[in-house]
Amino acid sequence: MFSSVSLGWLGSAIALCLFVVQLPAVMVLLARLLKGPTRRPPLQPRAMTPDQVGQVSVVVPTLNEALRVAPCLTGLSQQTAEVREVLVVDSRSTDGTREIVQKAQETDARIRLLTDDPLPSDWVGRPWALHYGYLQSSADSHWILGLDADTQPQPGLVAALIAAATAEQYDLVSLSPRFILKGLGEIWLQPALLMTLVYRFGPTGASESGAERVMANGQCFLCRRDLLQKLDGYTRARLSFCDDVTLAREAAKAGAKVGFWDGAKLLKVRMYEGLAETWKEWGRSLDLKDASSRGQIWGDLWFLTCVQALPWLSLPLLLWNLSSGPPTLPLQLSLGLNASLIAARVALQLAILPSYDLSQSPNRWIFWLSPLADPLAVLRIWLSSLRTPKTWRGRQYDLAATLPSQP
């Protein structure tokens, strides 16, 4: 009798603690997700207008991208005269990337292959290549569009992007893509990792927050030339492994109008092959620690743990306590809260379905089991947040002496 009472008391105490810790995070999450119904609709393809001719210089950084760069160049060749030039800035690839670009030059004179200068010790490779491309771009282009080599631009992308940014007087806009997933493991894990961004920053296209919560995606990153001149190119993001978010937040602090929009109808991307590569490569950049203060980092870790990991981890314990005796009020409250979080998460899985192209996978049904990977996704953010990368895209880094201290 004593042990049963003790276990009941312990279960109630645990349930109460969970409820108290999770409730503030749930209120924050609710405020963010309520922006969903009023978010900006996905950007639609558009034909070029005469005033757009020659307005855009595209910069594509590459380092051993032979397996992915061809669809990117094909998609860029399908863009019309709004694209003045396509500058492929290669960092001395050895896998045949340069030969693929040179072949593409034969059919599209706008494509130029550049080799960036040797990487300085106080720069990360990607922002250095983008900075080099910006410096080599035509002064007559009003916009600089950074595109990753693994993207697959769809017809009408650039015209639609600059038309919307110009009409609404945005200075910097980035797009979320439609992800191409094929393997069983990546289909299971990748949506859970993506959800860590949705939970922290709200739906893509929602109303903009303050500069410290600005979100961006460097896979498709459009910036006015005069804003880049004001920011000294990518210099302010030179030490960042999330240079897109870092530069966007610096721009917002400088008074620029910054947007992050849904580009699923304009841009596809095939990022990583399989579970292991998705875990290693994408997982370590999602913490955004290079663009955040220590307070933001720890706040986001607490938040994700409460709303994305604990519901799945705590539900079996709560259900076991429920079956062991009459439910106490703390147990009912905690069980209701976590069951609601799981229900919302399953509903969000349906909401993000348009962000995925699963047509090339025979295992697309695994997508619906992705919410079960949420605790693993949160663990990946924890691990990444507590480590400074030593290698990235085949390069070795030792930036400990040059990384700025975080307040």
What is the structure's pLDDT at 392? 62
Task: Enumerate residues 6+ apart whose C-beta is below 8 A from 89.
Answer: 59, 60, 61, 62, 114, 115, 116, 129, 130, 132, 133, 136
Which parts of 78-151 fold into alpha helices (H)? Answer: 97-105, 125-136
Residue-averaged pLDDT of the chain: 92
Q: Where are the beta strands (DSSP E) in 44-142?
A: 56-62, 83-90, 111-115
pLDDT in tens, 199-222: 999 999 887 778 889 999 999 999
**pTM to 2 decimal places:** 0.92
How does residue 394 score in pLDDT terms, banded at 50, 70 and 90?
A: low
The full set of domain ranges for the chain reads 50-181+205-272
What is the structure's pLDDT at 2? 40
With a cut of 60, say whether residue 275 has pLDDT above it: yes
Mean pLDDT of 138-164: 97
With a cut of 90, say whether residue 284 has pLDDT above it: no
Mean pLDDT of 19-41: 93
Nearest-angstrom CA–CA distance, 114 and 97: 12
Residue from 264, 176, 220 nearest 58 by CA:
220
Number of Cβ within 10 Å of residue 13's Cβ equals 12
With a cut of 80, say whether residue 328 has pLDDT above it: yes
Residue from 388, 395, 355, 381 nearest 279 by CA:
381
pLDDT in tens, 211-266: 889 999 999 999 999 999 999 999 999 999 999 999 999 999 999 999 999 999 99
**Coil/strand/helix, residue 261:** strand
Number of Cβ within 10 Å of residue 344's Cβ equals 17
Question: In terms of CATH, what superfamily is 50-181+205-272?
Answer: Spore Coat Polysaccharide Biosynthesis Protein SpsA; Chain A (3.90.550.10)
Task: Enumerate residues 6+ apart whose C-beta is below 8 A from 1.
Answer: none
| Residue type at 34 in one-letter notation | L
Is the CA virtual torsion 96, 99, 104, 108 positive or negative?
positive
With a cut of 80, say whether residue 326 has pLDDT above it: no
DSSP annotation of 114: E
| Residue type at 136 in one-letter notation | Q
Residue from 217, 134, 144 nearest 178 by CA:
217
| Residue type at 135 in one-letter notation | L
